[in-house]
Amino acid sequence: EAQVTQNPRYLITVTGKKLTVTCSQNMNHEYMSWYRQDPGLGLRQIYYSMNVEVTDKGDVPEGYKVSRKEKRNFPLILESPSPNQTSLYFCASSLITQGEMNTEAFFGQGTRLTVV
Amino acid sequence: GNSVTQMEGPVTLSEEAFLTINCTYTATGYPSLFWYVQYPGEGLQLLLKATKADDKGSNKGFEATYRKETTSFHLEKGSVQVSDSAVYFCALIDGGFKTIFGAGTRLFVKA
């Protein structure tokens, strides 16, 4: 079954304690992305990756890091979480065809993070 | 820059009512347009899409037509069900590698 898997689904942590949210896809997609969803703001892109070892900032990258060492995995790292990073996070992947991305994004089920 | 504007919610309807959720966009080129749906506790999933002007996307009784002249992609359904209660997102890809989402519209359908 084609899917994007995020872990954990729920996480409560304290300010400053490093954490990693994992994301894995089994569709051999080149493009992967992280979003955060906040009430009234929709989805905002944090980072994206167009292939292995190729990553770039989205609209709200401050306080986050990513890596893409393998095609299937795209972890999101919060080195020193703060309460304003409390949010619902989604990982997504897409196929790039003929140098363009005009196909649907496949989303994970989300990670609800609370930083106290 | 490119953007997507959706009608604010929540939208509350009775079962079998007609649904319209408005979506307009701003883009420099000829974007592909999408509607995604998010059911409670889940991630977004594609509902329908259209990749060029006058295309109509349809799925599960939902429809949306790509109107370049009005830069719109309004979502419609003739008869909603309680199971359609969800958050609906309009989105575009502008020919690059970024999907731009609207803020989302929450739909409640009462039995």
Q: What integer pLDDT is reported at residue A52 of this predicted model?
A: 94
- Percentage of residues in chain B having pLDDT higher than 70: 98
Q: State the pairing for strand pair B11-14/B105-110.
A: parallel
For residue B9, what is the nearest residue in chain A, using CA coordinates?
A40
Q: How far is A91 from chain B (nearest CA, A)?
A: 9
When CB atoms are compared, the residue of A43, A100, A109 closest to B101 is A43
Q: State the pairing for strand pair B99-101/B105-110.
A: unpaired
B78 contacts: CB under 8 Å, gap ≥ 6: B18, B61
Provide the CA B86 distance to its chain's centre, in angstroms.
12
For residue A58, what is the nearest residue in chain B, using CA coordinates?
B98
Q: Is the pLDDT of residue A101 over 70?
A: no
pLDDT band at A40 (very low <50, low <70, confident <90, very high): confident
Rounded mean pLDDT, A93-100: 77
Query: For residue range B4-57, what is the model confidence (pLDDT) as tens digits?
Result: 999 888 999 999 999 999 999 999 878 899 999 999 988 999 999 998 899 999
CA end-to-end span of chain B: 41
- Tokens, residue A29: 């997609």
Kindly report the average pLDDT of chain A as a whole number.
93
- Tokens, residue B30: 């000829």
Q: Output the CA torsion sign for B33, A27, A43, B96.
A: negative
